[in-house]
């Protein structure tokens, strides 16, 4: 029998409360089972969580009474933790043509296996899995070439090694095929420079190393240091190197954009050779997070029903709100997103509504929160926004599989307006922070006193992520 259970443990963490969701599956049958059960009635509802975390305790460790945690109706032994090392693993079938000792990078492979654990991969792909897969490929390149002057692989070797990497991940229960990477990513593509000697002649390597050995997750996304150094190096390689390559190889001019993007891959490979595996992985993940947070990954269909129901509206209107809720329920099926992506999504969606003539802030009228844009079903309708610098998915013998959500995410979705857009700039850490607002949800949906409630918590994600 299929069984899907969730338990919630809440830890106070300095001023920042995190909700750590843990999911056990006793008999897991893949994504189908997950989706089937995700719609089933919650064992623990969001209201019970929030009801047990009164506002006065916001900055203190929040205790949840054991009574709230669902009792396990089955004997403990029948609920083995969902661990990819015991779950559905087999010996990978390798091509035998990729001369790489994969155990040298097993720690990065293990992270990738957790982050791309197949049942969750579609929901976590954009934010956690695919950034880690990219990082794995960069680190693989650096290690594959650790004793040679090369920074990339030949096409044939790339194809074999890419296949081996995919097989290894799949054999451990991970699905990397959802990610937009391919064997050609290992070849350096149209970048004219592919070896260490030429690279180090063209690039200010000490600057590059200084900029990327220790990436500050807070500053990097606003005032890029490592990213800027990588782009600078990639530009030098793609422009400066083109004269070297022009005479020899390429038939048909590759576009400069491709060359720049391919040269970034070469720079990543060089960094992977020079940095420790942990430093490289951390740096690459921070860079990915910056990129990921800039855009809303959700797809919005034309909200014509919502526009029709909400266009002329002065007061809360049940048909407008139900139409809006129905629309949001559909988009929130897509994936888990970060708190900053949710701001982008709310802004993007709000602009679509405004273009259609909805001028009232219906997010406020209908009590739409940021977390309403993120996938709900995975964790029993509790709702979860990932942190803007998402942590890895972790496997734990005792608790199973877990990932970290922000607890402070029941904050109002921002309604775009010319004046609020500038305050949405998240890149002003030196700016004095507004006083922390209370996160108390109005008992009466439809009335919320301040449209700016979201600003301070978002800044606090920003600040507290130093501590986490």
Q: Tell me if residue 365 falls in helix, strand or coil.
A: helix
Closest CA to 21 of 131, 120, 135: 120
Give whichever of 134 and 376 is closer to ligand NAG, judged by the CB atom. Answer: 134
**161, 153 in Cβ contact below 8 A?**
yes
Distances 186 to 94, 163, 247 between C-alpha atoms, Å: 17, 11, 24
- Minimum gap (Å) between residue 128 Cβ and ligand NAG: 15
Give whichever of 116 and 362 is closer to ligand NAG, judged by the CB atom. Answer: 116
- Minimum gap (Å) between residue 28 Cβ and ligand NAG: 12
Provide φ and ψ at 416, rounded to 5°.
-65, 135
Give whichever of 66 and 180 is closer to ligand NAG, judged by the CB atom. Answer: 180
End-to-end CA distance of the chain: 39
Binding residues for ligand NAG, rule CB under 6 A, total 24
Give whichever of 60 and 216 is closer to ligand NAG, judged by the CB atom. Answer: 216
* Binder among 56, 76, 206, 243 for ligand NAG (CB under 6 A): 206
- Minimum gap (Å) between residue 249 Cβ and ligand NAG: 17
Residues with Cβ within 8 Å of 341's Cβ and at least 6 positions away in sequence, in order, are 127, 292, 293, 295, 296, 297, 373
Distance CA 322, CA 327 (A): 9
- Interactions with ligand NAG, residue window 89-148 (CB under 6 A): 101, 103-104, 106-107, 110, 118, 122, 134, 137
* Binding letters toward ligand NAG, positions 148-177, x by CB under 6 A: ----------------------x----x-x
Give whichever of 134 and 410 is closer to ligand NAG, judged by the CB atom. Answer: 134
Give whichever of 2 and 291 is closer to ligand NAG, judged by the CB atom. Answer: 291
Give whichever of 62 and 158 is closer to ligand NAG, judged by the CB atom. Answer: 158
Instruction: Give the interface segment with ligand NAG, choosing from 181-189, 321-329, 358-366, 427-435 (CB under 6 A).
Output: 181-189
Q: CA-based angle 30:88:141, to the nearest 5?
A: 100
* Binding letters toward ligand NAG, positions 251-290, x by CB under 6 A: ----------x---x-------------------------
Long-range contacts of 10-16 (CB under 8 A, 24+ apart): 10/49, 10/53, 10/61, 10/62, 10/63, 10/64, 10/407, 11/61, 12/59, 12/60, 12/61, 12/62, 13/467, 13/468, 14/464, 14/467, 15/59, 15/460, 15/464, 16/408, 16/460, 16/464, 16/467, 16/468
Instruction: Give the interface segment with ligand NAG, choosing from 1-9, 140-148, 200-208, 429-437 (CB under 6 A).
Output: 200-208
Give whichever of 101 and 322 is closer to ligand NAG, judged by the CB atom. Answer: 101
Distance CA 345, CA 457 (A): 17
Site of interaction with ligand NAG (CB under 6 A):
85, 101, 103-104, 106-107, 110, 118, 122, 134, 137, 170, 175, 177-178, 181, 185, 189, 204, 206-207, 261, 265, 397
């Amino acid at each position: 029998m299929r069984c899907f259970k969730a338990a919630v443990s809440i830890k106070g963490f300095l001023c920042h409360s995190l909700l750590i969701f843990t999911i056990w599956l006793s008999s897991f049958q893949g994504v189908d089972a997950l989706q089937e059960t995700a719609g089933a009635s919650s064992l623990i509802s969001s209201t019970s969580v929030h009801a047990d975390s009164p506002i006065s305790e916001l900055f203190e460790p929040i205790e949840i009474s054991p009574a709230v945690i669902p009792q396990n109706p089955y004997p403990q032994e029948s609920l083995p933790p969902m661990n990819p090392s015991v779950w559905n693993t087999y010996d990978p079938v390798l091509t035998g043509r990729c001369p790489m000792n994969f155990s040298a990078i097993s720690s990065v492979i293990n992270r990738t296996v957790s982050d791309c654990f197949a049942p969750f991969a579609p929901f976590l792909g954009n934010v956690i899995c695919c950034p880690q897969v990219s990082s794995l490929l960069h680190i693989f390149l650096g290690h594959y070439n650790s004793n040679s002057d090369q920074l990339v692989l030949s096409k044939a070797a790339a194809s074999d090694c890419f296949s081996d990497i995919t097989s290894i991940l799949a054999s451990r229960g991970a699905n990397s095929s959802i990610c937009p990477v391919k064997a050609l990513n290992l070849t350096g593509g149209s970048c004219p420079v592919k070896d260490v000697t030429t690279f180090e002649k063209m690039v200010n390597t000490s600057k590059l190393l200084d900029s990327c050995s220790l990436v500050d997750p807070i500053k990097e996304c606003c005032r890029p240091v490592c990213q800027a150094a990588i782009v600078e190096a990639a530009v030098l390689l793609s422009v400066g190197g083109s004269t070297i390559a022009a005479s020899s190889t390429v038939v048909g001019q590759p576009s400069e954009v491709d060359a720049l993007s391919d040269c970034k891959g070469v720079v990543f490979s060089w960094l992977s050779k020079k940095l420790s595996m942990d430093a490289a992985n951390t740096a690459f993940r921070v860079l990915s997070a910056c990129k990921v947070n800039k855009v809303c990954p959700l797809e919005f269909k034309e909200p014509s029903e919502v526009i029709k129901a909400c266009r002329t509206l002065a007061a809360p209107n049940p048909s407008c709100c139900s139409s809006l809720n129905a629309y949001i329920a559909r988009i929130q099926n897509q994936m888990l997103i970060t708190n900053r992506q949710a701001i982008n999504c709310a802004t993007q969606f709000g602009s679509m509504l405004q273009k259609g003539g909805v001028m009232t802030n219906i997010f406020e009228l209908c009590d739409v929160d940021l977390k309403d844009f993120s996938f709900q079903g995975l964790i029993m309708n509790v709702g979860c926004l990932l942190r803007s610098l998402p942590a890895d998915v972790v496997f734990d013998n005792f608790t199973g599989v877990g990932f970290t959500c922000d607890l402070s995410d029941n904050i109002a979705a921002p309604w775009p307006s010319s004046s609020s857009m500038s305050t949405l700039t998240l890149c002003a850490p030196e700016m004095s922070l507004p006083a922390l607002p209370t996160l108390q949800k109005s008992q009466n949906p439809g009335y919320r006193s301040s449209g700016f409630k979201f600003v301070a918590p978002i800044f606090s994600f920003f600040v507290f992520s130093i501590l986490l």
